[in-house]
Chains A and B, each alone.
Chain A
Amino acid sequence: MAAQSDLEPVIELRGVEKHYQMGDTLVKALNGIDLKILPGDYISILGPSGCGKSTLLNILGCLDQPTIGQYFLSGQDVSHLSDDDLSQVRGKRLGFIFQSYNLIQQLTVLENIEVPLYYQGVPEEESREIAIDLARKVGLEKRLDHRPTELSGGQQQRVAIARALSNDPAVILADEATGNLDSKSGGDILRIFDELNAEGKTLILITHDEGMAKRTSRTIRLKDGEVAFDSYREEDKP
């Protein structure tokens, strides 16, 4: 533990709150979250619906900004960046994996993997090489020119993983990544996650699947916009 706390946290949330105005009432979707995520962490975030999981994911993913509090990503305060800068942060340091894969239908497997690289301005040949390597890594080297519609759900999610890895992100965020898959393909995806973590990647899995929580090294439970349980916290340790 001591060794871990010496590391510079890749993500640090300090008193993050997110408020929404719903008619006359002010809803606090997140109510003071403090969180440190270290490089190489393998985290699952669980909680009932309405607990603020999605809001937290959006803030962690720099898709949304906290109303109050600070968010440090790799040491940089990203809580008050401009829209362009947020895009830059997302494209450079974050990888997204969604429940419904979210591949771009008119692009091939290879082109989908290349999308983040395109927005980073990586030259064509270099980006092609990276994409082919990643496709091989997720076992799709034979389907480079296929369209998403020609692939099974599991295969599509593997394309999405390759895409999330293409820009070599600091953190990978997965939102219910196995939610639309049968148990076999879901298991394949989870094995890939395990491998990635073994390689030293930082993964944050948002889920309500308790089985998934058991695989990860750290579990965070949210309730009413607060961290109700964190397996790293002294008081929560079993």
Chain B
Amino acid sequence: MKVHTLIRELSPFRLKRSVLLGIKSLWMHKLRSLLTAMGIVFGVCSVIAMLAIGEGASYEAQQQIKDLGSQNIILESVKSTDSTTAGEQERSLILEYGLTYRDIAQIRATVPGVQVMIPSREVKDFLWNEAYNVDGVTLGTVPWFPEMRNRRVIRGRFFTDLEMAHSSPVCVLSRSLSRKLFPLTEAVGDTVRISTSYFRVIGVIEDDMSVANAEADTKNKGDSNVGMEMMVPLSTLEDHFGEVIFKYRSGSFEAEKVELSEVTVRIDDPTQVMSASQAIRHILERNHKKVDYKMTVPLELLRQAERTKQIFNIVLGSIAAISLLVGGIGIMNIMLATVTERTREIGIRRALGAKKKDIVIQFLIETVMLSGVGGLIGVAVGLAIPLIITHFAGMVTIIEFWSPAMAFTISVVTGVLFGIYPARRAAGMNPVEALRHE
């Protein structure tokens, strides 16, 4: 009996007529219905838009970090900011700082799980192709650099172990450097000159996205030499430039002695990255009295980014919850007013054979339609906003497939939750009194 009546209640025929009836009742007060739905519209569209923007921002950040390699620990030489350094080094005129071969020997000997290391050293000088020149960076490194740093060789190839062993004068250009130096001709096969040394171009590698993105924001894009990199075997670089690097630049003179500019340490077990980074930190602290190195742990950054994203999600979730709560209260408020206003209609329907359940369903359908239509409009607007932002502000926005579905579902659930009380109140009215209501 119960099951039978339930099926009758939910049959498509009854549902269709109930929905049509709901539309008629809502249509009688178009403006009121529209305004009521607005609360949900804004709630839903702000949820979707904020999710898309947040997701886009964190995707960008995580992508930059992932490009560095999550199993890597990156050590860089930096000029110490320690004031005592300047005093000591004044007489020698040569600024000596940074990571040394001794550091990497110790790291390899003591830190467990070190898979490979990519020592590299960079020299800043002008790079020439006939009349074209670029103030760029020459990076001496090892053959497995592209693989470790997630960088793709676009044309040609990277240098080999053999070329490394023989200190061959070969080089690989970053994409933006090859565009600057060889705007019209093919770079691979041609040569690049640094002061009096010539290097044969054997390949072109894609730009370092993490650096390019991070620094392009702060620097003037057109004039920067960010990403202007030329890679040569580490041994070749030593042969050609020696240990001390002299630079003459617009009247001033600089001499620096840096053994290694950068070392990337890859740990074979991803779970050991954090503990290995602790061990490396200890070694470096012992070897370097001044802080003339910088340590970057992409995994740590990734974890931080994830934590930031979590906090962001919580904030977002609360905002979404509050806006939908406000929308829901708006709906409940209007439905309560509607129920009072339609007391007589309820009385008439009850007299003509409507059960309490029928009245509950009638009002619940109206609230669900309000919130559902509001939700649909909200989804449409919410999908449009990120597109507009991407188009005009150039920000990356990512709409996850589940976010409109989730926002819509929540809006309907809000409708049901906030509709139940007014609907039950309508159904609970005494038919005699409801009929007498003016």
Contact = CB atoms under 8 A, between A and B. Distances in A.
Nearest to A102: B348
B353 interface: yes
A123 B13 contact: yes
B392 to A, nearest CB: 44
A201 B143 CA distance: 103
Interface string A77-91: 000000110011011
A84 B356 contact: yes
Given A58-B432, A105-B28, A106-B24, A119 B353 contact: yes
A63 B434 CA distance: 11
Given A58-B432, A63-B432, A163 B355 contact: no
B353 A92 contact: yes
B356 A83 contact: yes
Nearest to A59: B432
A58 B350 CA distance: 13
Which one of A88, A91, A123 has the highest number of Cβ atoms from chain B below 10 Å of its Cβ?
A: A91
Interface string B13-28: 1100100010011011
A106 B14 contact: no
A96 B8 CA distance: 25
Which one of A87, A98, A123 has the highest number of Cβ atoms from chain B below 10 Å of its Cβ?
A: A87
Given A63-B431, A98-B435, A163 B14 contact: no
Interface in B1-43: 8, 13-14, 17, 21, 24-25, 27-28
A61 B349 CA distance: 13
Contact of A84 (B24, B348, B355, B432): B355
Contacts of B315: none
A127 B349 CA distance: 17
B311 interface: no
Interface string A30-46: 00000000000000000
Interface in B330-388: 344-345, 347-358
Majority-rule SS of B interface residues: helix
A141 interface: no
A96 B352 CA distance: 7
Contacts, number: 69
Contacts of A24: none
B354 A91 contact: yes
A181 interface: no
B3 to A, nearest CB: 15
Interface residues of A, number: 29
| Band of interface residues on B | 20 to 34
A69 B392 CA distance: 79
A88 B432 contact: no
Contact of B14 (A58, A116, A121): A121
Contact of B353 (A83, A88, A103): A88
B349 A115 contact: yes
Given A64-B432, A118-B17, A119-B358, A87 B350 contact: yes
A4 interface: no
Nearest to B9: A121
A105 B28 CA distance: 9
Interface in A3-23: none
Contacts of B350: 63, 87, 90
A49 B345 CA distance: 26
Interface in A102-121: 102-107, 115-116, 118-121
A102 B27 CA distance: 20
A87 B349 CA distance: 10
Given A64-B432, A83-B356, A121-B8, A96 B351 contact: yes
Contacts of B354: 87, 91, 119
A83 B355 contact: yes
Given A58-B432, A104-B345, A121-B14, A115 B28 contact: no
A63 B351 contact: yes
B379 to A, nearest CB: 28
Contacts of B24: 106-107
Contacts of A115: 348-349, 352
Contacts of B358: 87, 119
Contacts of B17: 118, 124
A167 interface: yes
A158 to B, nearest CB: 17
Given A102-B435, A104-B345, A120 B356 contact: no
A96 B351 CA distance: 8
B13 A106 contact: no
A116 B355 contact: no
Interface in B271-316: none
B25 A116 contact: no
7 contacts: A83-B356, A84-B356, A96-B351, A98-B435, A106-B24, A106-B25, A116-B352
Please name the 3 residue pairs, one residue from A and one from B, whose CB atoms are nearest each other, closest first. A91-B353, A119-B353, A87-B355
